[in-house]
Copies of this chain bind each other. A is one copy, B any other.
Amino acid sequence: MAYHHGNLREALIERAAEVIAERGIEALSLRALARDLGVSHAAPSAHFPDRRALLCALAREGFRRSVDTMNAGAEAAGPDPVARYRALGRSYVQFARDNPSYFRAINHPEVEALQDDELQESRDAWVATLREGVEIAQAAGWHPEIDVETLLAFSCAGAMGAARLLTDSTWCSMFEVEDLDALADSVLDLVVHRSRTSVIPIPEDQRRVS
């Protein structure tokens, strides 16, 4: 065994993601992480001064990956601005369900209370992604009567609320829906439901309302 682990920082993040996905952020311990990786209890401190710093790194990675996922989803949605906007929200929810550890890190109160410039940059990038989608859709004639800031705030609230609802079995089980994916689509469809009146109509086969 080498004295230097060699890649401890990334190994910590990777193992932390596993633990969080399995047992939640509350069960995350720097010492246990060090044990799992076969290093001494204080080794992580060389890379993360404290527990919060590790969670912060997780959250930053989560924001970065979710932005990538959202952009890829928008790209795959084709040229229609409203379809791209829809895809942004949909992709975020999908990311949240596929990556519970990053999603939990992003939304954990301990991380939220953290004042960190780099973390705030990551958050800004996430909002900017959504803002771009809103602005492009609006420029194409989507709800010109509504203030863009209001539309953006609504989009953020909708995406965050939907992701929260659909990643937590406690909440999901309260709705009489068998297919979780169908519910996800329905919620996100409603978020942009008003686009039915936009200059670019939603194709019939993409509507979820009957």
Q: Does A65 interact with chain B (Cβ within 8 Å)?
A: no
Majority SS of interface residues in chain A?
Answer: helix
Q: Is A36 an interface residue (CB 8 A)?
A: no
Q: Is the CB of B124 within 8 A of A209?
A: no
Flag whether A200 is at the interface (Cβ < 8 A): no
Q: Contact mask A144-176 → B, CB, 8 Å, 1/0?
A: 011101111110111111101100101100111
Chain B nearest CB from A141 CB (Å) reads 16
Determine if A42 is an interface residue (Cβ-Cβ < 8 Å).
no
Contact B154 A164 (CB under 8 A): no
| Contacts known (A152-B175, A209-B146); A187 close to B157, Cβ less than 8 A | yes
List 9 additional A-B contacts (Cβ < 8 Å) besides A26-B109, A147-B209, A149-B183: A25-B109, A124-B174, A150-B209, A151-B190, A153-B165, A153-B186, A156-B165, A158-B158, A160-B165
- The distance in angstroms between the C-alpha atoms of A123 and B151, with both chains bound, is 29
Question: Which chain B residue lies CB-closest to A26?
Answer: B110
A2 in the interface, Cβ–Cβ < 8 Å? no
Identify the 8 closest CB pairs spanning chains A and B, nearest first.
A161-B161, A157-B161, A150-B186, A154-B190, A160-B161, A157-B162, A157-B165, A26-B110
Give per-residue flags for A55-81: 1 if the beta carbon is below 8 A from chain B beta carbons, else 0: 000000000000000000000000000
Query: A174 is contacted by which of B127, B175, B176, B186 (Cβ under 8 Å)?
Result: B127
